[in-house]
Structure 1
Amino acid sequence: MQAAAEPVFSWPTRVYWEDTDAGGVVYHAQYLAFLERARSEWMRALGNGQELLRDVHGLVFAVRAMRIDFRAPARLDDLLDVTVELRECRRASLVLAQSIKRGDALLLDAEVRVAALDAPTFRPRAIPAPLFAALEPLVIPRSHA
């Protein structure tokens, strides 16, 4: 697993017609897709794409819980920045802080808990030791401000 170049991973995306409702505003469920893609790209940037996780580690991550605060709408053709920060690395789960911004404007923030599952059975399992050892140093603790 490669080390992340920056502690906060950033993935740019554009809002297309298919992402919006009839008024040109991003449909609320589409934000989940933006968040998912950023998490997948974060893992890929660390050297662990989805296929590698499954084929080499026998592991898949599945969303267990999510808290989302919708703060402002994104609109057709907006250029968005979707971020991922690892907040907790537990033996069988990760907690990630994510945000979606348009420029300096915060549109959404979320906390996402993903569970580590055995790829063939989809039963909970520990994150393999080499992957855990690579992820643990990437944790950015929550600020207490």
Structure 2
Amino acid sequence: MVFYANYLKFFERGRTEWLRGLGFSQEALRRDEAAMFVVSDTTVRYLRPARLDDEVVVTVRLAESGKASLVIDQQALRGGEVLAEGRIRIGCVDAQTLRPRRIPPNLLASIGPA
């Protein structure tokens, strides 16, 4: 069975790929905008176990957007069955100081309103 903490890794990868699909790589945000995202809060419900060799699909849905943070609802699915669901708040921070900063306007425009 998949260890429970791995679902957080699955969700992290899902958010990274979601941003990449919008045209934003984590590395480019850090390099070009001096911005990066950090997880500030998470809630996960574990409903069913995934097993070795299961194909797990992770969904990403923007629930809330603010000036410096996003709330993301995510699910890990096997077939149509929900294995785990989570709500993750990510905050935008300055890549050098790690202090909160506004999300780059071009990224906010790409994700649209929640």
* TM-score (ref. length: structure 1): 0.76
- Bigger shift: 127-136 or 66-75? 127-136
Match of residue 125, structure 1, among 79, 101, 104 = 101
Deviation at 1:136, TM superposition (A): 2.5
- Bigger shift: 124-133 or 56-65? 124-133
Where does structure 2 lack aligned partners over 5 or more consecutive residues? none
For 1:67, the equivalent position in structure 2 comes to 43
Task: Render the CA deviation track for 1:66-90: whole Å, top value 9, x for unaligned.
Answer: 0100000000110111110111110
Q: Secondary structure at the match of 1:79?
A: coil
Q: Which runs of 4+ in 1 moved over 4 A?
A: none
For 1:3, the equivalent position in structure 2 comes to none
The residue correspondences of 1:56-135 to structure 2 (distance < 5 A) are 56-135=32-111
* TM-score (ref. length: structure 2): 0.95
CA-based RMSD: 0.9
Amino acid at match of 1:82: V
Q: Secondary structure at the match of 1:67?
A: strand
Task: Render the CA deviation track for 1:14-49: whole Å, top value 9, x for unaligned.
Answer: xxxxxxxxxxx0011111111101110111111001
Deviation at 1:91, TM superposition (A): 0.1
The total of aligned residue pairs comes to 114
Residue identity (%):
44
CA distance in 2, matches of 1:71, 1:31: 11
Bigger CA radius of gyration: 1
Deviation at 1:135, TM superposition (A): 2.0
Where does structure 1 lack aligned partners over 5 or more consecutive residues? 1-24, 140-145
CA distance in 1, matches of 2:15, 2:98: 19
CA distance in 2, matches of 1:105, 1:126: 36
